[in-house]
C-alpha cells in the first residue's frame, strides 16, 4: 500500500479559493492533532514567493524551495496540507486527497465578502464551474485516493470533518 510506512497519514485538502479549505483544516487539526500546513502562509514565511502575478492577483510560489523545506515533515507524516492547487506536490507525500466543492451562489457570496472583484472573482468562479482543481487532482494522483466533498453549508462542513476523522481512524488501525 502506498506510503504505508508512515505511522500517521498526510492529507491534502484542496479546491478553489473560498470553498472552505482553511475552515475545515483548522477544525480537523484541532480534533485530530494533525499539523495544519497552510501553503500560502508557509511560502510567505519562508521566502518561497518568487513574484506577484498582476493578472491573477496572486503570489507565484518558488515550488522547489517550498518542497525542499517541507520534505522532512511530510516524510514523517501527520500533516494536513491546505492549498488551492495540487499538481506540483510529490505524489508520494499524500495518502488521501479531498477536493472541496461549493455551489456557485455560495462561492460568489464568500468571495465577494473576501473583497474579490472583477477578473479575480470571475476566474475563481470559472475555476469552480469547470472543476479545474478536481481534474488537476485526478490527473496528478491515483483516482482511488481522490475524493470530492460538497461543502456548501456548515452542516456539510461538520459531516466532512467527521468523514475524514473516520477515514483517519481506519487508516491508523490498518497499520497496527
Ligand X SMILES: Nc1ncnc2c1ncn2[C@@H]1O[C@H](COP(=O)(O)OP(=O)(O)O)[C@@H](O)[C@H]1O
| Residues contributing to the annotated binding site for ATP | 18, 20-23, 114
User: Could you say whether residue 17 binds ligand X (CB under 6 A)?
Assistant: yes
The reply to whether 20 sits near ligand X by the rule CB under 6 A is: yes
Q: Which of the stretches 10-18, 89-97, 138-146, 163-171 binds ligand X when contact is defined by CB under 6 A?
A: 10-18
Distance (Å, whole) CA 92 – CA 3: 7
The minimum distance between CB 57 and ligand X, in angstroms, equals: 14
Please, which residue, 9 or 20, has the CB nearer to ligand X? 20
Minimum Å distance from CB 157 to ligand X?
3
CA distances, 134 to each of 27, 140, 162 (Å): 22, 10, 21
Rounded alpha-carbon distances, angstroms, from residue 120 to 1, 5, 44, 139, 144: 40, 41, 20, 25, 32
- Helix, strand, coil percent values for the chain (each to nearest 5): 50, 20, 30
Least CB distance to ligand X at residue 7 (A) = 28
Shorter beta-carbon distance to ligand X: residue 56 or 92: 56
Separation CA 132–CA 19 (nearest Å): 13
Near ligand X by CB under 6 A: residue from 10, 79, 124, 151: 151
User: Which residue, 104, 102, 79, is CA-closest to 89?
Assistant: 79
- For 14, other C-beta atoms within 10 Å of its C-beta total 26
CB of 26 to ligand X, least distance (A): 8
Question: Which of the ranges 3-11, 70-78, 148-156, 167-175 carries the binding residues for ligand X, by CB under 6 A?
Answer: 148-156
Binding residues for ligand X, total number by CB under 6 A: 14
Residue in 12, 19, 43, 146 binding ligand X, rule: CB under 6 A: 19
Report the alpha-carbon distance of residue 93 to residue 115 in Å, rounded.
33
Q: Which residues bind ligand X (CB under 6 A)?
A: 15, 17-23, 110, 151, 153-154, 156-157
Amino acid at each position: 500500500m502506498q506510503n504505508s510506512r508512515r505511522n500517521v497519514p498526510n492529507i491534502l485538502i484542496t479546491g478553489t479559493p473560498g470553498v472552505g479549505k482553511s475552515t475545515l483544516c483548522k477544525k480537523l487539526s484541532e480534533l485530530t492533532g494533525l499539523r495544519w500546513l497552510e501553503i500560502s502562509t508557509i511560502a510567505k514565511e519562508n521566502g518561497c514567493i518568487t513574484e506577484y502575478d498582476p493578472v491573477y492577483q496572486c503570489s507565484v510560489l518558488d515550488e522547489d524551495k517550498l518542497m525542499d523545506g517541507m520534505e522532512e515533515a511530510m516524510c514523517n507524516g501527520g500533516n494536513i496540507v491546505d492549498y488551492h492547487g495540487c499538481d506540483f506536490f510529490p505524489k508520494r507525500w499524500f495518502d488521501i486527497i479531498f477536493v472541496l466543492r461549493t455551489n456557485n451562489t455560495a462561492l460568489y457570496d464568500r468571495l465577494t465578502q473576501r473583497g474579490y472583484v472583477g477578473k479575480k472573482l470571475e476566474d475563481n468562479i470559472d475555476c469552480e464551474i469547470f472543476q479545474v482543481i478536481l481534474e488537476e487532482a485526478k490527473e496528478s494522483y491515483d483516482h482511488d485516493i481522490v475524493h470530492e466533498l460538497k461543502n456548501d453549508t456548515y452542516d456539510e462542513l461538520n459531516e466532512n470533518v467527521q468523514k475524514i476523522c473516520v477515514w483517519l481512524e481506519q487508516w491508523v488501525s490498518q497499520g497496527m
